[in-house]
Structure 1
Amino acid sequence: MLGLQSYRLLADMNRLLASLFHQGVLDEHFLQLQQLQDESSPNFVSQVVNMYFNESEKLLRSLRALSVDREHWEYKKVRLHLNQLMGSSSSIGANRIRNVCIAFRAASEQNNRPGCLRALDLLEHEFCYLKNKLHEFFLIEQQQVLAAGIRYPNYPMPQHPN
């Protein structure tokens, strides 16, 4: 029975990823990131993605703080934060976030404050969507690992006394 449950969870993971790829939320860089994960680092992808989320949240807060000042919009700082966010998004395969960053940067290069504000709203929306979907993916992945009975060297299973 555990084997069947494991296969169902694996199918759920694959459907979720396929949906995210079909929607353009993720790209091939996410697959490349997954290829770096192995038994010696079973949580590699989730750790990298969590670091990405933590850093991106800081950048989004900084961008939102910069947008509050109605009289002086610091386009140079905006572009600096966007470049950081765009680079890290590209490295984990967050395709739609990267694309919104490109549009946001174009609006900032034109000193288009309304365009920047729209892009910031969209960026925050896309970030929340990605975060929720990848959180769901990692939860399913954890369940699948448990259902498959996979043991990693770093996490030995307790043994029953004879």
Structure 2
Amino acid sequence: MLGLGADRLRADMNRLLAFLFHQGVLDEQFLQLQQLQDESSPNFVSEVVNIYFHESEKLLRNLRSLLMDREFSDYKKIGIHLNQFMGSSSSIGAKRVRNVCVAFRAASEQNNRAGCLRALELLEHEYCFLKNKLHELFQIEQQRVLAAGVRYPMQN
């Protein structure tokens, strides 16, 4: 018999995922990533996403550093960082983050500093929202796994 809370936690996970898909935060690539997870690698998705978070935070710091430099004029560097960010965001299904990167890249291709600064703020906002929601999802998943492992004695 499954732990009493495991079904409720699975439903919570499904509701959160449905919300993230409905809001366009995630796309089907995230589902494909989940399909790669199995008993031999039960933490696959969270490990991949944590690598994404680590790399994304470096990219965000680099982008902010470039744009805060008053003498900045190398918009090609911004484009390189954004291409990396878009690729990694696409690979985990971070749809809204990827879309902001596309708009950010357009501003950088036009050497539009004000547009880049606005896009950076939006990118940081979308990234933080994604990070918070995926952390919430992984916490629920951990609780569900623990609850599913709890066995209750059968009553006679």
TM-score by length of 1: 0.90
Give the distance between the partners of 2:136 and 2:124, measured in 1 at CA.
18
Q: In the alignment, which residue of structure 2 is the partner of 1:104?
A: 104
Which runs of no fewer than 5 residues in structure 2 stay unpaired?
151-156
Alpha-carbon shift at residue 109 of structure 1 (Å): 0.5
**What amino acid maps onto 1:29 in structure 2?**
Q
Calculate the aligned-residue CA RMSD, in Å: 1.2
Aligned to 1:155: none
Q: Which runs of 5+ in 1 are unaligned?
A: 151-162
Distance 2:4 2:28 in 1: 29
- Within 5 Å, give how 1:66-85 maps onto structure 2: 66-85=66-85
Q: Classify the secondary structure of the residue corresponding to 2:4.
A: helix
Under a length normalisation based on structure 2, what TM-score does the superposition of the two structures give?
0.93
AA at the equivalent of 1:113: R
Q: CA deviation at 1:4?
A: 3.0
- Which letter does structure 1 place at the counterpart of 2:45? V
Segments of 4+ moved more than 6 angstroms: none
The residue that corresponds to 1:141 in the other structure is 141
CA distance in 2, matches of 1:72, 1:45: 37
Post-superposition Cα deviations, 1:74-109, rounded to whole Å, max 9, x if no partner, equal 201100000000000000000000000000000001
Shift of 1:2: 5.0
Q: What residue is the counterpart of 1:32 in the other structure?
A: 32
Aligned residue identity for 2:8: R
Residues 1:94 and 2:94 aligned together: yes
